[in-house]
Amino acid sequence: MQSPAAQAFARTIAVIEDEESIAAAVAARLRSEGYRVETARDGPSGVSLCAGLCPDLVVLDLMLPGFDGLEVCRRIQRDKAVPVLMLTARDSEEDLVVGLEVGADDYLTKPFSARELVARVHAILRRSAGSPSAGAHIEVGDVEIDSDARRVRVRGEEVHLTPTEFDLLHYLGERPDRVTTREELLEEVWGYAVALGLRTVDSHVRSLRRKLGAEVVRTVHGVGYAVGGESA
C-alpha cells in the first residue's frame, strides 16, 4: 500500500479561506504532506481558482466575503463533482446538513487540529479515487445503486451523491437488515476512528434521507443504522 505522501503525488488542493493565518497554516501543512496547494480569500476568487485549477479536493470555509461557502460549493459542483471539505465555525446540525446537501463531502468545526485535517483530506481523496468492489447492482426499495458507475437512481431518476454519501449508502446496502454502529461506519467508510466524528455520520445519514427519502436509512435507537426491515 502506498504511503500518504506517495498517494499525494500530483494531487492538487484549493484552499478557500479568508482568515490569512488559517489559510497559511492549512496550506503549509498540506504542502508538507506532498500536495500542491493554491489559495483564495473570498467566494468569487475561490470559484475562479477552481475553474482554472480543476483541483482534486477543495478545503472550503463556510463564511467568506463576496458570497459564502455554500454558494461557492454550488457553483464549483455545477459542471463536475469535486470533493469538498468544509470548514465551519458554526456547530448547528442544520448548517452542517445544508453544507452536505450542496455537495460537501465532510466538514471540520473550528478550531481543529492539523492532524485531524490531514486525516480527513487523506480519507476523502481515498474515497473519491476508490470504487466499491462488490455488489455491482444493489436495490434498496426504490433506490438503485450502480457500484461500477457509482450512480444512484430513485424510481429511475438519477440523484447526485457525494463520494462519501455514495460509499455510506453502498456499505449499508451491501448489508441489508444488518444494524451497523456509527463507530463501524466511521472507521469503514470514513477511514478514521475519532469519537468527535460520530456527528459526521449522523449528518450524512440525514443528507441521504433528504435526497433519497426518509425511509431509506432507518435508525435503530441506541445501536446505529440499517437499510431494509422496520424502524426501531
Looking up residue 205, the CATH number of its domain turns out to be 1.10.10.10
Residue 199 is predicted with a pLDDT of 78
pLDDT in tens, 145-201: 998 888 899 999 999 888 888 989 999 999 988 999 999 998 888 877 665 567 788
Same domain flag for 177 and 142: yes
pLDDT in tens, 69-96: 999 998 998 877 789 999 988 766 666 6
Q: Residue 231 pLDDT > 70, yes or no?
A: no
Residue 1 is predicted with a pLDDT of 41
Query: Which residues are CB-contacts of 75 (< 8 A; sequence separation ≥ 6)?
Result: 47
Domain extent for 70: 4-129
Q: Residue 134 pLDDT > 60, yes or no?
A: no
Same domain flag for 11 and 117: yes
Same domain flag for 89 and 191: no
Same domain flag for 105 and 207: no
Residue 217 C-alpha cell reads as 436509512
Same domain flag for 190 and 108: no
Number of separate domains in the chain: 2
Same domain flag for 106 and 33: yes
Residue 196 is predicted with a pLDDT of 57
Nearest to 20 by CA among 46, 36, 40, 34: 40
Please give the single-letter amino acid code of residue 214.
A
Same domain flag for 32 and 100: yes
Percent of residues, the chain, with pLDDT higher than 70: 86
Predicted confidence band of residue 33 (pLDDT cuts 50, 70, 90): very high
What does the alpha-carbon distance between residue 101 and residue 63 come to, in Å, rounded to a whole number? 17
Report yes or no on 11 lying in a domain.
Answer: yes
The residue out of 73, 107, 129 marking a domain boundary is: 129
Same domain flag for 15 and 100: yes
- Segment 39-61 mean pLDDT: 96
Runs of H (alpha helix) within 54-137: 69-76, 93-101, 114-129
Q: Residue 2 pLDDT > 50, yes or no?
A: no
Residue 22 is predicted with a pLDDT of 95
Same domain flag for 103 and 120: yes
CATH number for the domain that contains residue 45? 3.40.50.2300
Same domain flag for 107 and 8: yes
The residue out of 129, 152, 170 marking a domain boundary is: 129
The residue out of 87, 104, 129 marking a domain boundary is: 129
Residue 24 C-alpha cell reads as 497559511
Report yes or no on 232 lying in a domain.
Answer: no
Same domain flag for 155 and 124: no
Residue entry with cell 457525494: 162
Same domain flag for 103 and 167: no
Report yes or no on 114 lying in a domain.
Answer: yes
Report yes or no on 111 lying in a domain.
Answer: yes
Residue 50 C-alpha cell reads as 477552481
Predicted confidence band of residue 232 (pLDDT cuts 50, 70, 90): very low
Report yes or no on 198 lying in a domain.
Answer: yes
Is residue 156 packed enough to be buried (19+ CB in 10 Å), middle (13-18) or exposed (0-12)? exposed
